[in-house]
């Protein structure tokens, strides 16, 4: 069984964000001292990183589902939840990441290219982690002073991607089956490919590292090509992608073949035709040299056979007329391998400088627009917007019902963050949608109270009956709508002094206080002039039983006496 995998489908999912906390600070004699719920932690992301120590995508075939760590929930006492760990996935240099297209139960096929990890350390975030939900202390403001709810964490991004490995080698060996490509790699490097005397022995590409003096370069053995490989015949189409990143194409030609309809020149022309057809379908990376412009060399193999040596001497002038360098070798006797090794080393050094110059020129020519350093999507408790931030469409269902579908980044994200078991949270969602302009757009589209409204799509869609008069739960604690949206009456009822007085109110209260003081002084002065304070024999209160001179009459006697006096008079 082969352990080389160069294409695999991976299901990646970012970590979910933790929920915010709706904690309330409690102090002595203050059961509602204010909010103190912390924010939930952000979820981790799934990140692919190009690593030169990775050689295959085999691990992802056996473990195709990868999930990053989720954030934890916020706590009371203004404690934020911890962030989920990012999942770092190493892939070989030269890995290209595509979106996966196709039905859920069918085989996936590559779609849009997402990233090209060509160099060591290149990174790509395949699945972004979800933002943590805001706690009630972050949702509080001067009008909503004690929110009784918090936002839920957002789920992490989830999708399928296709990883496709395009080997990065300096020299690509191409040729018909049994031309001796695997034997050549085994003779020039420490690679141990499978070698046998039948066609299509090599079922997967082989890479070998070759040392020539103080230089080093890599050779890739592409499985045998045949006419029609660019259209899917044989194994060529499956592995032609491995020559896209090579700088030099070396044709390995079997001079000892016994097939009567083949000769070295015809083999070369047939393979060049397939490469030209395949090159038309390619979208080369930045700075890459087109396949038709890459240097070619001809390697005439198996000259240890007398007939093969004679054939090599005969066809060599024909290749040289085409401007091609020709090397006659034998992998069995190692004849000509040293000259080939140093010639390839010099050519590789020259092509590396050419590719570096092209990449630098392309980088200087193109305009790169970099976003601001934000690491995460914007997190705000309330965000205004315009009608361009969302769309409202009126859709008629098959059963005669009508639904108004609201789509947009903000409304869909807000719905996910809302805890629909909390009336105050639902009211807060209504406030945000109204501030964004969703209610005005619904009215413009002809929606009426009670119509079915759907926000989002797929499994995250939420359906509800539209009630444009709904308010935040804090305003409906006694069952009636007592104020405007977002206004918390609980604290105002407990502490009347929490509202700051105006200057006119301060002035009126001051005059009332001064008038009361003047009235008290006048009453005290009248009692003093009457002598009530100087003569203790005067009974000021005849109902006072503790008075030395008082009679201590009861209230009934006093009323009777007063009534009698009134009758006598």
Q: Which of 6, 172, 173, 30 is nearest to 96 (CA)?
A: 6
Nearest 10 degrees: CA dihedral of 165, 166, 167, 169? -160
How many angstroms separate the Cα of 437 from the Cα of each of 417, 440, 523? 19, 5, 64
Rounded distance, CA 130 to CA 379, Å? 11
Is residue 351 within 8 A of residue 247, CB to CB? The reply is yes
Q: What is the 3-state secondary structure (H, E, C) of 26-62?
A: CECCECCCCECCCCCCCCCCEEEEECCCCCCCHHHHH
Q: Is the dihedral of CA 453, 455, 457, 459 positive or negative?
A: negative
- H helix runs in 322-336, sequence order: none
Q: Which of 151, 165, 159, 163 is nearest to 45 (CA)?
A: 159
Measured in degrees and rounded to the nearest 5, phi and psi for residue 211 equal -115, 125
Rounded distance, CA 223 to CA 205, Å? 6
Q: What is the 3-state secondary structure (H, E, C) of 218-272?
A: EEEECCCCCCCHHHCCCCHHHHHHHHCCCCEEEEEEECCCCCCCCCHHHHHHHHH
Sequence-distant (6+) residues with CB within 8 A of 311 are 255, 256, 263, 264
Q: Is the dihedral of CA 95, 97, 98, 100 positive or negative?
A: positive
Binding residues for GTP: 175-182, 200-204, 221-224, 301-304, 330-332
Rounded distance, CA 295 to CA 45, Å? 42
Radius of gyration of the chain (CA): 43
Binding residues: 175-182, 200-204, 221-224, 301-304, 330-332
Measured in degrees and rounded to the nearest 5, phi and psi for residue 467 equal -130, 95
Q: Which of 268, 243, 270 is nearest to 321 (CA)?
A: 268
29: left (phi over 0), alpha (psi -120 to 50) or beta: left
Sequence-distant (6+) residues with CB within 8 A of 146 are 24, 32, 34, 35, 136, 140, 474, 488, 490, 491
Is residue 558 within 8 A of residue 544, CB to CB? The reply is no
Sequence-distant (6+) residues with CB within 8 A of 500 are none
E-state strands within 409-520: 452-455, 462-465
Binding residues for Mg(2+): 182, 202
Sequence-distant (6+) residues with CB within 8 A of 313 are 328
Q: Is the dihedral of CA 46, 48, 54, 55 positive or negative?
A: positive
């Amino acid at each position: 069984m082969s352990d080389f995998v160069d294409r695999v489908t991976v299901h990646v999912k970012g970590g979910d964000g933790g929920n915010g906390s709706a904690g309330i600070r409690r102090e002595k004699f203050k059961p509602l001292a204010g909010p103190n719920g912390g924010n939930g932690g952000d979820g981790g992301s799934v990140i692919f990183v190009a690593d030169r120590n990775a050689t295959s995508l085999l691990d992802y075939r056996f473990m195709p589902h990868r999930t990053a760590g989720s954030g934890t929930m916020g706590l009371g006492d203004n404690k934020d939840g911890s962030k989920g760990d990012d999942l770092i996935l190493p892939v070989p240099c030269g890995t290209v990441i595509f979106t996966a297209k196709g039905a859920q139960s069918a085989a996936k096929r590559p779609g849009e290219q997402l990233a090209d990890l060509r160099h060591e350390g290149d990174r790509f975030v395949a699945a972004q982690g979800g933002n943590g939900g805001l706690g009630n202390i972050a949702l509080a403001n001067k009008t909503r002073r004690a929110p009784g709810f918090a936002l839920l964490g957002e789920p992490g991004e989830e999708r399928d991607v296709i990883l496709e490995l395009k080997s990065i080698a300096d020299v690509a060996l191409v040729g018909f089956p049994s031309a001796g490509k695997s034997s050549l790699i085994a003779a020039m490097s420490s690679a141990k490919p499978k070698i046998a005397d039948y066609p299509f022995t090599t079922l997967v590409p082989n890479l070998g590292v070759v040392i020539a003096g103080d230089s080093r370069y890599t050779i890739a053995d592409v499985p045998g090509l045949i006419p029609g490989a660019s259209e899917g015949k044989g194994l060529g189409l499956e592995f032609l992608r491995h020559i896209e990143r090579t700088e030099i194409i070396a044709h390995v030609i079997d001079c000892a073949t016994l097939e009567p309809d083949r000769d070295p020149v015809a083999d070369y022309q047939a393979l060049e035709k397939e490469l030209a057809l395949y090159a038309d379908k390619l979208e080369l990376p930045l700075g890459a040299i087109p396949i038709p412009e890459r240097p070619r060399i001809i390697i005439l193999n198996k000259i240890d056979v007398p007939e093969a040596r004679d054939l090599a001497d005969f066809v060599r002038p024909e290749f040289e007329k085409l401007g091609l360098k020709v090397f006659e070798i034998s992998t069995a006797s190692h004849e000509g391998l040293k000259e080939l090794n140093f010639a390839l080393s010099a050519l590789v050094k020259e092509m590396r400088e050419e590719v570096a110059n092209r990449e630098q020129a392309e980088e200087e020519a193109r305009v790169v627009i970099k976003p601001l350093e934000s690491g995460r999507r914007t997190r705000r408790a309330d965000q205004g917007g315009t009608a361009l931030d969302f769309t409202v469409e009126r859709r008629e269902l098959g059963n005669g019902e009508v639904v108004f579908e609201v789509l947009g980044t903000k409304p869909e994200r807000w719905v996910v963050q809302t805890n629909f078991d909390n009336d105050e949270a639902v009211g807060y969602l209504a406030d945000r949608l109204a501030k964004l302009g969703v209610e005005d757009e619904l009215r413009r589209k002809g929606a009426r109270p009670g119509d079915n409204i759907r926000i989002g799509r797929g499994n995250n869609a939420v359906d509800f009956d539209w009630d444009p008069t709904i308010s935040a739960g804090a305003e409906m604690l006694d069952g009636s709508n007592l104020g405007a949206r977002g206004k918390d009456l609980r604290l105002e009822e407990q502490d009347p002094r929490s509202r700051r007085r105006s200057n006119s109110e301060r002035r009126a209260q001051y005059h009332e206080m001064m008038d009361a003081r003047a009235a008290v002084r006048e009453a005290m002065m009248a009692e003093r002039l009457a002598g009530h304070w100087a003569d203790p024999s005067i009974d000021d209160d005849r109902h006072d039983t503790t008075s030395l001179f008082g009679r201590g009459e009861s209230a009934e006697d006093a009323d009777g006496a007063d009534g009698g006096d009134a009758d006598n008079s």
